[in-house]
Amino acid sequence: MTLKMDLGDALIDAVMGWAIVFLGIALLVLVVVLVGKIMSGKKPAVPAPTPAPAAAPPAPPAPPAPGAAGDLKLYDTPDRDAAMIMAIVADELKVPVNELRFISIREVKNK
């Protein structure tokens, strides 16, 4: 069974299809705008902020731990990996970590 449609019927069907799609999109936009206006009109009750007590001045930085050797710069290396690297190096050298000085740790990537 073959259905034959002439050009005029095909054009009418195509135009009707496009019109239905655009009408659906327009209705969806209208619903979104209306819901947005409804939701923006309802503002939640926010309690009045209580004044915060006067903050104490920040404490001076604590002195470094005994044996600390300053700052460590990490380049593309997570803190966890850097800690493992330092522990492995200290274990291989049979030296406590606080006696070693690490300046920077950088991940070497293959090209």
Report how far apart, in Å, the C-alpha atoms of 43 and of each of 40, 61, 103 are.
Answer: 7, 43, 53
Indicate whether 64 belongs to any domain: no
Indicate whether 50 belongs to any domain: no
Residue 65 carries which DSSP code? P
What's the average model confidence in pLDDT over 62-83? 75
Domain that holds residue 83: 73-106
Indicate whether 80 belongs to any domain: yes
Number of domains in the chain: 2
Indicate whether 53 belongs to any domain: no
Indicate whether 37 belongs to any domain: yes
Indicate whether 57 belongs to any domain: no
CA distance 83 to 100: 13
CA distance 84 to 75: 15
Confidence of residue 27 (pLDDT cuts 50, 70, 90): very high
Higher per-residue confidence, 49 vs 6 = 6
